[in-house]
Amino acid sequence: LSEHMIQGAAHDASAREPPPRCHPGTRIKINEHIITWFYDEEKKELLIWVYGPAGVGKSAIMQTLAQKLTESGHLGASVFISRPNKRNDSRKLIITIAYQLAVNIEDYCAFITDKLGRDPDLVNKGMEEQFKAFIVEPFVWKKIGAGAGPRGILLDGLDELDEHQPQRKIIRLIADFIVEHPDVPLLWAIASRPEPHISDTFNEAKVVPTYWKQYVPANSEESRRDVAIFLRASLERIQKESPRSVPKQWPSEEQFSYLAAAASGLFALADTAVRFIEDPRYANPDKRLAQVLSALNGLTAPSDSQPFAPLDALYTSILSSIPFDVWSNTKRILGALLYVQGEGTRLVLRRLGPLSVMLDLDLGDIYASVHGCYSLLNVSNSEHPDQQG
């Protein structure tokens, strides 16, 4: 199975280090609601849909759930789908779930070993056939896990799976499974943006009774409080790490209040701002904070029609600071990354060798061109110039 699964998609995979996590003291109510749902023996909905716009912290919530279920011994599988990281092959989704179930459940491991020994070609079958072989047969017919408590199967970033049809199909397969086999001790959690085709699928008559939904808003009282906690802790850490360049009473309450209000519950903005401010290549957090506040100056609180206006302003400011002599190459590089990786919360700077050949640019030119973009990109250590050599 390991040769046919989505590599690096588990919650504890080294490829995801450091994974998104809920900052201590944040998302308390939402996490409590989900955990309460999971252990509620009277619930009828065996699927939870965690949904909300990009950048609100859905993956961090799912990471927290995966860690809590691991600690209690109730995790069956966790698949963190990512389009930018190429962890989104729908043909490998069920196999990835099966592999993790085999790792976590001894009886399932014995079943799957025997099953694949008799029919190795199962790894090449379609999603529906694999769901039947790897989920229905062991848990319904063989009754694996019966009486041992619930096992959670977590799918994060469903909207980033490679095509719309398999996104809809997995929801329908899970819903049908719940309706037909409500006593099987499997609980499902899906996190995604509320894309129209996904919302339409969850609104289908046969799906509606099977799930409970948890909305993760960007601009709510709790999300604003949580982002303020994250910002406060992050800026205090930056101050402690830079005592020679940042005064003890930094930032001022006025600066902090303005930044927290502009973020307005959007973790993506808070995270980007912190990454920009603490960038060690500039070693001037106070000046970088001033740049962030200048970019956000004059903006009103995000509205339903323009929820990402402050984030757009910050991105525009960061990109506008890139020197003119490299800007042309910067646009080409970002365009190539966007074309290859598709839409994502944050593009990933990786595999620079092929990118260098494709754009006919030296690696040095690539590094110089994205030098000012590191707060907007995920950069693996192997691709970071400071880690080269």
pTM tops 0.75: yes
Beta partners for residue 186, in sequence order: 151
The whole-number pLDDT of residue 381 equals 45
Q: Note if the bond before 251 is cis, omega within 30 degrees.
A: yes
| Count of the separate structural domains present in the chain | 3
Whether 22 and 103 share a structural domain: yes
* Residue at 8 is within a domain: no
Residue 94 sits at the vertex; the CA angle it makes with 93 and 95, to the nearest 5 degrees, is 90
Integer Cα distance of 387 and 241 in angstroms: 21
If you count DSSP H runs as helices and E runs as strands, how many of each does the chain have, helices first?
A: 15, 7
The whole-number pLDDT of residue 66 equals 96
Whether 80 and 161 share a structural domain: yes
Integer Cα distance of 380 and 182 in angstroms: 43
Whether 183 and 234 share a structural domain: no
User: Does position 8 have pLDDT exceeding 60, yes or no?
Assistant: yes
Name the pLDDT band for 382 (thresholds 50, 70, 90). very low
What angle separates helix 221-241 from helix 267-277, to the nearest 10 degrees? Answer: 10
Name the pLDDT band for 388 (thresholds 50, 70, 90). very low
Whether 66 and 199 share a structural domain: yes
Domain of 234, in residue numbers: 218-321
The per-residue pLDDT for range 271-325, each reduced to its tens digit, is 999 999 998 878 899 999 999 999 888 765 555 556 677 788 888 888 888 888 8
* Residue at 7 is within a domain: no
Integer Cα distance of 87 and 344 in angstroms: 12
- Residue 64: name the closest of 93, 23, 105, 36 by CA: 23
The per-residue pLDDT for range 34-74, each reduced to its tens digit, is 999 999 999 999 999 999 988 888 999 999 999 999 999 99
Whether 250 and 303 share a structural domain: yes
Instruction: Answer with the one of 321, 352, 368 that is the final residue of a domain.
Output: 321
Whether 168 and 186 share a structural domain: yes
Integer Cα distance of 345 and 363 in angstroms: 25
Instruction: Give me the mean pLDDT over the 132-157 stretch.
Output: 94
Whether 309 and 330 share a structural domain: no
Instruction: Answer with the one of 274, 292, 321 that is the final residue of a domain.
Output: 321
The per-residue pLDDT for range 197-254, each reduced to its tens digit, is 999 999 999 999 999 999 998 778 888 899 999 999 999 999 999 888 898 899 999 9
183 in Cβ contact with 145 (< 8 Å): no
CATH number of 159's domain: 3.40.50.300
The per-residue pLDDT for range 167-205, each reduced to its tens digit, is 999 999 999 999 999 999 999 999 999 999 999 999 999
The residue behind tokens 């041992």 is 148
User: Does position 336 have pLDDT exceeding 90, yes or no?
Assistant: no
